[in-house]
Copies of this chain bind each other. A is one copy, B any other.
């Protein structure tokens, strides 16, 4: 297993660079017999696509995905599914001064030390948020696989931008409202406030971070493996592959660490013959295994590092201080583009475990 791949039984391999010829992904281990068309993937890619509104970058990218292997007559064959987005023309000169002026908050410096002058620095190369499109390519298929076989469905949405917090609790019926607004917050009023705070940050040549929450429903009991194959282990590993993520918590998470055991323990009850818990502080995972309750997770995104504001930094070759102004069309806040990426990574991990655990058959 290399750093560009994730999964045991369902393996996603990501390739490509931000300003290279393409970005793409190979998904191996997907069962034969899943009906898949490019539009199934395109839909989620479009939700991630830049240039959709004022709250994200004004770059326009077509981001049209093409399936080039693994699907035959509209169905997966059991062979690796390869998907590609050809990068459209970009102006790589915009990044020329970044070669040695290391951008604060970016991978420029460690990448330069690790790969020397061989690093593909154009637009962040491999480290660009653009690579999350490859997560979505694989994730869209995993998400569909979970839906049609087990009814499992992951929905992710913005609950915080900067200091603006959605206080209300997400309920499944709110899922249709997520993409009704530019910031992907299911609470319309809060969404408007979030939007304004992003536009305000943009006006000041600055950026904002935020928090995505993700809820997955209809899980069978017993997905995951004890210890290192815990769902929390594998989901967090996947989520931390998103640039800008700096925190992941499940259920009551950091706040739960302030509670008493008698408060945080979720009481078991029986509803309709099914064992459930009254509360869900565990976020649907106990001992690393799904307990049948919704998996609830929150992801903290740092504010985007690329800001138009003047910053002081170092020239990595001369080791002298220099002034830097990051040009180009950057996202004042990446959070609104992240929900489909989080959906994708959670789905990939759950589908992998569903296959490992025998919940999904190798040929449908």
Contacts and interface: CB of A to CB of B under 8 A. Distances in A.
A14 to B, nearest CB: 6
Interface stretch (A46-54, A142-150, A174-182, A220-228): A220-228
A267 B3 CA distance: 28
A17 interface: yes
Contacts of A82: 15-16, 22, 24
Interface residues of A, number: 146
A312 B20 CA distance: 52
A69 B20 contact: yes
Interface string A87-120: 0000000000000001011110111011110111
B208 A77 contact: no
A246 B240 contact: no
A360 to B, nearest CB: 9
Nearest to A228: B6
B252 A302 contact: yes
A274 to B, nearest CB: 9
Interface of A: 1-11, 13-17, 20-22, 24, 26, 28-29, 32-33, 68-70, 72, 75-80, 82, 84, 102, 104-107, 109-111, 113-116, 118-120, 122, 125-127, 131, 160, 162-163, 201, 204, 206-211, 221-222, 224-230, 232-234, 236-238, 240-241, 243, 245-254, 256-270, 273, 275, 277, 281-283, 286-292, 300-307, 309, 311-314, 316, 319, 321, 356-358, 361-363
12 contacts: A4-B226, A4-B228, A5-B228, A15-B79, A77-B115, A113-B222, A115-B363, A243-B287, A247-B248, A257-B303, A260-B303, A265-B311
